[in-house]
């Protein structure tokens, strides 16, 4: 049976890099958290093309670019927008509760 | 825990060669430096094509076409930067200008983009790096490579093959299935454009493209082959970035033409860094990479010395 997703504390918002991508360890996962003009977004941190850490990539607005091959994704929905990224990346819903960023996972 | 793959960048960050704040600063993108450089680029093209125009009908047309061709073949450098999305901050401009450069030099942009990804993943790994230029086995093969004949043969064959919807086994390794149609379409459009131009030239008895484009390109491509050899040829075929890539310190005109890609080891360390920040990145990494202080000529001396030629042991260079 599929487990129901619940909200979990991820990181204090104050610890996130301003208008950039931050790397957060969550259990066994590496999560990339994006501070964008329209709020916070989160995804798995490793690029689904070559496995590089997106948190070392170039971030601009809502676009995260992989540091290895410059494939890029829209962090709002995980959609690939530049080759060689071709598959949607896994994203998580986020919310800010009293200064703590939570993800639904 | 799932771990990211180790890349030159992760190594540089882990070893403290580069801090995260420095990385962010180096990666910053802008359209302004690109448009400034493009404005000068267009002026240079106008000057070199004017030289061809004024020398038509004289013997000077050959050196004029050669100089014009040297500029034309450097559209490769701009296209290469566009492949990395580092010329313009506006992403679609990189696709547009990269595709235009591709038409000028006969290098389909989408195919090059996928191929180049594997070059960065497997730099100098024999059998895996699709752009690996092998160390010449003899002085004759060195010279033959520099004629650009093998290059043109490969490129024409590629476009022809792709226009018929075929890929080699090695191409299937770096081009995902979802991109096959685009690669084929790109090749067909380029082939159609070139054939149309040939038709127009014949029908209207108008041969200007030969003197302002095709002949200069053929004359200039050996220079690009000469430069491309300096990036990796003669360096060890190992995965260590500080070993397998060569940065060449060259003069301002060459840096302008190649969009600072002479800082090649720095580029391979952090390929997200735009051309205008590479000189600053060089200052940061120069003690951790292989630097050829005598530029392209020095790199070729190195290559020729490895060929163990008597002539290369003198200081006359190539």
**Number of domains into which chain B is organized:** 1
Q: What is the helix (H) or strand (E) element at residue B304, kind and residue range?
A: helix B295-306
Stretch B68-96: mean pLDDT: 97
Q: Which of B6, B18, B179, B272 to mutate to test the interface with A (most CBs of A within 10 A)?
A: B272
Would you state the structure tokens that stand for residue B38, as one six-digit string? 């493009």
Stretch B226-248: mean pLDDT: 93
Residue numbers of the domain that contains B293: 35-150+205-308
- Any residues with CB less than 8 A from the CB of A19 and at least 6 apart, and which? A35, A36, A37, A59
Residue A27 within a domain: yes
Of the candidates B10, B85, B176, which has its C-beta nearest A53's C-beta?
B10
Residue A45 within a domain: yes
Residue B99 within a domain: yes
Residue B8 within a domain: no
Residue numbers of the domain that contains A70: 7-104
Q: How far is B183 from chain A (nearest CA, A)?
A: 12
Residue B189 within a domain: no
Residue A88 within a domain: yes
Residue of B nearest to A25 (CA): B1
Residues linked to residue A30 through DSSP beta bridges, in sequence order: A25
Residue B90 within a domain: yes
Collect all residues of chain A within an 8 Å Cβ-Cβ radius of residue B1.
Answer: 25, 28-30
Q: Which of A26, A64, A69 to mutate to test the interface with B (most CBs of B within 10 A)?
A: A69
Would you state the structure tokens that stand for residue B252, as one six-digit string? 């301002």
Q: A1 pLDDT exceeds 80? A: no
Residue B111 within a domain: yes
Contact A46 B2 (CB under 8 A): yes
Residue B187 within a domain: no
Alpha-carbon distance B130 to B132, whole Å? 6
CATH code, A32 = 2.102.10.10
What does B105-162 look like in DSSP terms, one character per residue?
HT--HHHHHHHHHHHHHSTT-TTT-TT--PPPSSHHHHHHHHTTHHHHHHHHHHHHHH
Residue A70 within a domain: yes
Q: B2 pLDDT exceeds 70? A: no
Could you tell me if B112 and B83 are in contact, meaning their C-beta atoms sit under 8 angstroms apart?
A: yes
Alpha-carbon distance values, B235 to B29, B32, B310 (Å): 31, 35, 20
Stretch B210-224: mean pLDDT: 98
Q: B1 pLDDT exceeds 60? A: no
Alpha-carbon distance B160 to B165, whole Å? 9
Alpha-carbon distance B128 to B155, whole Å? 19
Residue B5 within a domain: no
Residue A2 within a domain: no
Of the candidates B1, B89, B179, which has its C-beta nearest A83's C-beta?
B179
A28 close to B (CB below 8 A): yes
Q: What's the complex ipTM? A: 0.90
**Number of domains into which chain A is organized:** 1
Residue A20 within a domain: yes
Residue A68 within a domain: yes
Collect all residues of chain B within an 8 Å Cβ-Cβ radius of residue A63.
Answer: 91
Query: Radius of gyration over alpha carbons of chain A, in Å?
Result: 13
Q: B61-91: string of b/e by CB count within 10 Å (b at 16+)?
A: beebbbbbbbbbbbbbbbbbbbbbbbbbbeb
| B225 alpha-carbon distance from chain centroid | 9
Could you tell me if B301 and B294 are in contact, meaning their C-beta atoms sit under 8 angstroms apart?
A: yes
Collect all residues of chain A within an 8 Å Cβ-Cβ radius of residue B117.
Answer: 50, 69, 71, 84
Q: Which residues 33-92 in chain A show a CB within 8 A of chain B?
A: 45-46, 50-53, 56-58, 60, 63, 65, 67-72, 81-84, 86
pLDDT-based confidence at B312, cuts 50/70/90? Answer: very low
Percent of chain B with pLDDT over 90: 88
3-state secondary structure of B233: coil
> Structure pTM?
0.93
Would you state the structure tokens that stand for residue B288, as one six-digit string? 């951790």
Alpha-carbon distance B13 to B17, whole Å? 6
pLDDT computed for residue B318 by the predictor: 30
CA atoms within 13 Å, Cβ hemisphere of B307: 22
Question: A81-97: per-residue pLDDT in tens?
Answer: 998 999 999 999 999 99
Residue A1 within a domain: no
Residue of B nearest to A57 (CA): B272
Kindly give the pairing relationship between strand A100-104 and strand A91-97. Answer: antiparallel
Residue of B nearest to A81 (CA): B91
Q: B315 pLDDT exceeds 60? A: no
pLDDT computed for residue B9 by the predictor: 86
Residue B112 within a domain: yes
Residues linked to residue A53 through DSSP beta bridges, in sequence order: A46
Which of B90, B76, B102, B271 lies closest to A60 in space, CA to CA? B90
Q: What is the mean pLDDT of chain B?
A: 93
- A70-74, A90-94, B6-10, B76-80: least confidently modelled range: B6-10
């Amino acid at each position: 049976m599929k487990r129901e997703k619940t909200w979990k504390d991820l990181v204090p918002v104050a610890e996130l890099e301003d208008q950039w991508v931050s790397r957060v360890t969550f259990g066994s996962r590496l999560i990339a958290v994006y501070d964008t003009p329209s709020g916070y977004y989160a995804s798995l941190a490793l690029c689904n093309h070559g496995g590089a850490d997106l948190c070392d990539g170039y971030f601009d607005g809502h676009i995260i670019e992989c540091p290895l091959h410059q494939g890029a994704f829209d962090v709002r929905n995980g959609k690939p927008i530049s080759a060689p990224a071709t598959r949607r990346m896994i994203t998580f819903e986020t919310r800010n509760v009293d200064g703590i960023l939570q993800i639904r996972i | 825990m799932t771990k990211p793959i180790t890349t030159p960048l992760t190594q540089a960050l882990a070893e403290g060669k580069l801090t995260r704040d420095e990385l962010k600063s180096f990666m910053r993108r802008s359209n302004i430096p690109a448009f400034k450089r493009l404005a000068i680029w267009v002026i240079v093209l106008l000057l070199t094509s004017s030289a061809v125009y004024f020398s038509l009908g004289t013997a000077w047309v050959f050196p004029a076409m050669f100089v014009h061709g040297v500029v034309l073949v450097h559209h490769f450098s701009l296209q290469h930067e566009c492949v990395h999305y580092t010329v313009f901050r506006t992403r679609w401009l990189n696709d547009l200008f990269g595709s235009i450069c591709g038409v000028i030099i006969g290098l389909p942009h989408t195919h090059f983009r996928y191929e180049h990804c594997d070059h960065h993943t497997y730099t100098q790994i024999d059998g895996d790096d699709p752009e690996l230029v092998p160390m010449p086995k003899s002085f004759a093969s060195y010279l033959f490579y520099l004629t650009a004949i093998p290059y043109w043969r490969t490129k024409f064959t590629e476009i022809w093959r792709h226009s018929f919807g075929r890929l080699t086994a090695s191409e299937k390794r770096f081009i995902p299935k979802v991109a096959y149609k685009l690669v084929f379409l790109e090749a067909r459009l380029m082939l159609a454009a070139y054939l149309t131009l040939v038709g127009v030239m014949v029908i209207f008895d108008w041969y200007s493209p030969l003197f302002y484009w095709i002949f200069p390109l053929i004359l200039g491509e050996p220079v690009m082959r000469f430069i491309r050899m300096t990036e990796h040829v003669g360096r060890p075929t190992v995965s260590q970035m500080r070993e397998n890539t060569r940065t060449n310190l060259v003069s301002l005109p060459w840096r302008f033409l190649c969009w600072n890609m002479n800082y090649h080891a720095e580029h391979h360390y952090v390929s997200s860094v735009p051309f205008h920040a590479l000189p600053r990145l060089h200052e940061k990494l120069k003690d951790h990479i292989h630097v050829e202080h005598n530029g392209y000529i020095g790199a070729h001396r190195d290559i020729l010395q490895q060929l163990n030629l008597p002539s290369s042991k003198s200081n006359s260079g190539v």
